[in-house]
């Protein structure tokens, strides 16, 4: 219910008005003077609206009472009077009233006037709150705000504008948008002309300008700061303001971008940003240069001014399709790809890392690896040439050993002495061991390593082919250096030859087992027979035979060991440490 306070010095009139209004649904209180009304309000009465009689008798008049009330309370006041005296009307017009109603008016007109006054008061409260919020925003926002008149002079500046520009408000007021003291510049460092400045441009064209970047000199910082400026033209109703301008200090961003640009240009690797071009079916068919650094220009011989904005097939018409296909895959999948390839157009080899920085785009980081590639080709050629020479040398060495083997065989056949023949045959076996090794090297792709299984199986078969002994082998495939294989071949030849000669009585069948295995400590060679064994108290160093002393010497030369036992036959064991077997 709307609560009204009637301030009327005539009790009868006030009572009559009260009854009429209560019949209309209002709640009504009465005060017979301005002083009494003030007292009621101070004691907590809170009416929604005051109906104020202008002439309140000998005390305060209605206008004065209304002024005192509105200094402390926000209550709308409608004045009532029986007079239309011009002096009265002028005073009421000058007061902060919400209307005037003649006392002779009907209660319907009075009711309408009350409701209209209440609506006006509510609208003013809303407008005042909005104004307060706008003012608070204007005063506290971080963006600078300036209003310009029709001559391009500053007429209003908010606190942020004062802070960003480094000048007091009274210094800013009246300044032109392109004040000479600001030494305004563009991003490239060149002076900003009046035709390019956002405020004069908007004044001249009537069109807004958005996010224009310019630098102005701040004397207190002895350097330029960078601003992003937007200008908007205003309607005539905003006069004298003609241009509304907002701006932000973007100095840190510009400095960071310039640092990044400097790093970008100083990169030793080439960098380029491209836009992929597709056909109607969505297939990558070309790409456009968007940005390159100095290193890219140097590595490719392509100048930025001649390629930016152009398609690669315009610049390099014979570009191979694999470049477009590879970069297309990067754009379509988002996958980062690193590869090496040759550009026939640029006649260079490049190592490229390509990635997708944004949809439809790809960036590359390139390095020229032409010298490295040519060196690799030359090195491969030299390697192949030396490998061919080594193969030829191995072949000739093998032939030489074959010739020596034949000469030893002829010599053995020419002597009637069994002792001399046997000695020559032992020499033949040793020569054959080395010859077999070079034969295998010649047939394989390697020239510095040997497979134990292939070499020793073949060597054993050739040695025992016409022997009455039954040979059993267990040879693991182990890759060992040629030098070690040579010594082991001679050792195996000596041990097998001894077993064939001495393990069993002449003409008697027997067993011979050869094992070559690898454990955690290295390689183990075992030659074992089940024949007559060793003489009692046998010691290797006291042996007068060349064979076992040669085996012992070769084992020590390989930092290994040689042991022999004569229980239940003869067992010879050679151990070679793991370190010696390293290729």
pLDDT band at 573 (very low <50, low <70, confident <90, very high): very high
CB count in 10 Å sphere of residue 114: 23
pLDDT band at 467 (very low <50, low <70, confident <90, very high): confident
Does the pLDDT value for residue 26 go beyond 70? yes
Distance CA 462, CA 436 (A): 9
C-beta separation of 366 from 272 below 8 A: yes
Does the pLDDT value for residue 208 go beyond 70? yes
pLDDT of residue 424: 61
Region 128-134: mean pLDDT is 74
CATH 3.40.50.2300 domain locations along the chain: 3-136
For residue range 508-544, list pLDDT tens digits in order.
Answer: 888 999 999 999 999 999 999 998 888 877 777 666 6
pLDDT band at 340 (very low <50, low <70, confident <90, very high): very high
CB count in 10 Å sphere of residue 536: 6
The 3-state secondary structure of 167-193, one letter per residue:
CCHHHHCCCECCCHHHCCECCCCCECC
Distance CA 354, CA 366 (A): 9
For residue range 145-180, list pLDDT tens digits in order.
Answer: 899 999 999 998 889 899 999 998 899 999 988 888
pLDDT of residue 52: 87
Distance CA 489, CA 463 (A): 12
CATH 3.30.450.20 for domain 267-368, yes or no, is yes
> Which architecture does CATH list for 144-257?
2-Layer Sandwich (3.30)
The per-residue DSSP string of 341-410 comes to EEETTTTEEEEEEEE-SSTTEEEEEEEE-HHHHHHHHHHHHHHHHHHHHHHHHHHHHHHHHHHHHHHHHH
pLDDT of residue 559: 92
3-136 adopts what CATH topology? Rossmann fold (3.40.50)
pLDDT of residue 540: 72
pLDDT of residue 397: 52
CATH 3.30.450.20 domain locations along the chain: 144-257, 267-368
CA-based angle 242:245:248, to the nearest 5? Answer: 170
Distance CA 201, CA 209 (A): 8
CB count in 10 Å sphere of residue 525: 23
CB count in 10 Å sphere of residue 537: 6
For residue range 305-338, list pLDDT tens digits in order.
Answer: 999 999 999 999 999 999 999 999 999 999 999 9
For residue range 260-310, list pLDDT tens digits in order.
Answer: 666 666 667 889 999 999 999 999 999 999 999 888 998 899 999 999 999
pLDDT of residue 486: 82
The secondary structure of residue 96, as a DSSP letter, is: -
Q: Which CATH number fits domain 448-581: 3.30.565.10, 3.40.1410.10, 2.60.40.2550, 3.30.70.20?
A: 3.30.565.10
pLDDT band at 100 (very low <50, low <70, confident <90, very high): confident
pLDDT of residue 526: 94
Structure tokens of 482?
Answer: 């040629």
For residue range 344-371, list pLDDT tens digits in order.
Answer: 888 999 999 999 999 999 999 989 988 8
């Amino acid at each position: 219910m709307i609560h009204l306070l009637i301030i009327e010095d005539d009790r009868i009139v006030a009572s009559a008005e009260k009854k009429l209004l209560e019949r209309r649904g209002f709640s009504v209180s009465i005060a017979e003077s301005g002083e009494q009304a003030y007292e009621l309000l101070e004691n907590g009465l809170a009416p929604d609206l005051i109906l104020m009689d202008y002439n309140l008798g000998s005390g305060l008049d209605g206008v004065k009472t209304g002024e005192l009330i509105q200094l402390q309370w926000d209550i709308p006041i409608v004045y009532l009077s029986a007079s239309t005296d011009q002096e009265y009307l002028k005073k009421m017009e000058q007061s902060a009233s919400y209307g005037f109603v003649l006392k002779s008016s009907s209660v319907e007109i009075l009711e309408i006037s009350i409701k209209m006054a209440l609506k006006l008061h509510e609208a003013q409260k809303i407008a005042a709150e909005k104004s307060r919020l706008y003012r608070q925003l204007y005063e506290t926002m971080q963006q600078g705000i300036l209003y310009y008149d029709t001559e391009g002079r500053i007429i209003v500046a908010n606190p942020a504008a004062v802070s960003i520009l480094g000048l007091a408000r009274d210094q800013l007021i009246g300044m032109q948008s392109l004040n000479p003291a600001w030494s305004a510049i563009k991003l490239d460092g060149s002076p900003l002309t009046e035709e390019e400045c956002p405020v004069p441009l908007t004044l001249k064209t009537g069109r807004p300008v958005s996010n224009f970047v310019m630098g102005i000199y701040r004397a207190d910082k002895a350097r330029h700061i960078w601003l992003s400026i937007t200008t908007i033209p205003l309607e005539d109703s905003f006069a004298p303001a003609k241009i509304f301008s907002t701006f932000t200090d973007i100095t840190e961003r510009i400095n960071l971008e310039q640092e990044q640009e400097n790093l970008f240009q100083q990169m030793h690797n080439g960098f380029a940003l491209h836009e992929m071009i597709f056909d109607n079916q969505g297939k990558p068919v070309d790409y456009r240069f968007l940005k390159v650094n100095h290193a890219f220009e140097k590595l490719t011989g392509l100048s930025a001014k001649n390629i930016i904005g152009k398609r690669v097939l315009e610049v390099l018409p014979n570009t191979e399709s694999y470049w477009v296909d590879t970069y297309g895959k990067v754009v379509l999948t988002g996958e980062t790809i690193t590869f090496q390839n040759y550009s026939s157009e640029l006649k260079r080899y490049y190592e490229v890392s390509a990635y997708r920085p944004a949809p439809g785009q790809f960036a590359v980081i390139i390095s020229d690896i032409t010298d490295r590639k040519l060196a690799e080709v030359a090195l491969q050629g030299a390697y192949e040439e030396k490998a061919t020479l080594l193969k030829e040398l191995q072949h000739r060495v093998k032939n030489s050993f074959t010739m020596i083997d034949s000469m030893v065989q002829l010599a053995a056949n020419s002597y009637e002495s069994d002792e001399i023949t046997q000695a020559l045959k032992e020499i033949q076996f040793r020569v054959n061991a080395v010859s077999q090794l070079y034969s295998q090297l010649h047939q394989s792709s390697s020239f510095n390593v040997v497979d134990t299984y292939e070499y020793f199986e073949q060597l054993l078969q050739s040695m025992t082919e016409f022997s009455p002994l039954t040979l059993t082998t267990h040879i693991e495939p182990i890759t060992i250096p040629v030098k070690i294989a040579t010594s082991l071949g001679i050792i195996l030849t000596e041990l097998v030859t001894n077993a064939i000669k001495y393990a069993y009585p002449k003409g008697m069948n027997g067993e011979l087992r050869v094992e070559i295995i690898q454990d955690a400590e290295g390689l183990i060679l075992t030659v074992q027979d089940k024949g007559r064994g060793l003489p009692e108290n046998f010691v290797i160093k006291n042996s007068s035979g060349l064979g076992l002393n040669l085996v012992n010497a070769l084992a020590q030369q390989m930092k290994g060991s040689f042991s022999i036992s004569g229980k239940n036959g003869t067992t010879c064991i050679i151990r070679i440490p793991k370190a010696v077997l390293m290729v």
